[in-house]
Amino acid sequence: MSAYETNSYHNIFKEYGYSDEEIEKRLNGICNTIFYGNESERLYHPVGDDMAYFVDTGNNDARTEGMSYAMMMCVQRNMKEEFDRLWKWAKTYMYMDEGLNKGYFAWSVKLNGEKNAYGPAPDGEEYFAMALFFAANRWGNGEGIFNYSKEAKELLHECVHKGEKEPGAPMWEPSNKLIKFVPNLDFTDPSYHLPHFYELFSLWCNEEDREFWKEAAQCSREYLKKACHPITGLAPEYSKYDGVPCNSPWDKGHHERYYSDAYRVAANLGLSYEWFENSEWECECADKIQTFFCETVKGKADLVYEIDGTIIEEKALHPVAIIATNAMASLASKGKYRKECVDLFWDTPLRIGERRYYDNCLYLFAFLALSGNYRIWK
């Protein structure tokens, strides 16, 4: 039975012989390093008496991705003060209260609060909403912006209905209920698809949108079956709505490849199965991904790949993230490489250096999930 039904979460580390004491000690150490480590370690930075930002050290900015990730980390670890500081900074400096994207959050903001862009990134909005619902359920609603569930409902309303009565575009494509890469473009990012979040949105959102989110969960699960390669399980960074890999219209990158964003798909499959056990395909795909890294490219598991497994002789920008997300896939995997991926992750330290932000965010999520601490707060 699923964690949603039982309120019981698998502790994969304990299953493989790690003790409760060492697991909790390690988890506390990871959180303390990321939130309160020295200047070369931490990502969390308090501002004044009641705000804080979470920095992308590779780009020296604050992003809705990182801010919403950090809020999710805080609600999972019962860090209410840090959660409220982050949320107030996001609402103060990232929220857009006018213009075409009114009601959304600017995806990138300078550390002094100045917006780098006036466009949103939908993965930030979905994590903000989920973290806010969990905060409401764990701590109770407060007043103003700390009426967490009200804020979450209003944000999801914008995501679904924007453009119906005023200029702008929704974050989910109305015709197929799939999340967009950005609201005004017609393609998607496989790693943005979080059907396990949408299942919960359907329970807690405005009454009028509950059916939408139920359908969105199913549509995303069906989409992922198309986007993930049938042999390797790998997904591209970007794809068309039919799952066919695509590039972006504004740069000459190779977003059709298995690269940074795409690593999150393995982690999402694991958490989705842990929470709801809705699709055995999630298990099959997780097995394929772990087999690819532990067998097909063993010894070359830190490079760039086409989704069919073709090796691009180029070092991955975020190698620790690959290890972390492959391990988190063990929540769904039933294959022979499940333990190997978990043990490799346990033996891998947090990343150091200027590119540590993305890797260490996914590292903490993986550790939370594999220790049974990435929970649904009802």
Q: Which residues are catalytic?
A: 65, 261
What is the Cα–Cα distance from 215 to 244, expressed in whole angstroms?
21
**CA distance linking residue 133 with residue 62, whole number of Å:** 22
Which three-class secondary structure state does DSSP give residue 159? helix
Q: Tokens at residue 190, please?
A: 């496989």
Alpha-helix residue ranges (DSSP H) falling in 194-279: 195-204, 210-227, 264-276
**DSSP H stretches of helix in 37-166:** 64-76, 80-89, 122-139, 148-161
| d(C-alpha 318, C-alpha 95), whole Å | 29
Residues 6 or more apart from 132 whose CB is under 8 A from it? 71, 87, 148, 149, 151, 152, 155
Taking the C-alpha atoms of residue 326 and residue 328, their distance in angstroms, rounded to an integer, is: 6
Q: What is the per-residue DSSP string for 294-331?
A: IIITTT-TTEEE-TTSPEEEEE-S-HHHHHHHHHHGGG
Three-state DSSP at 129 gives helix
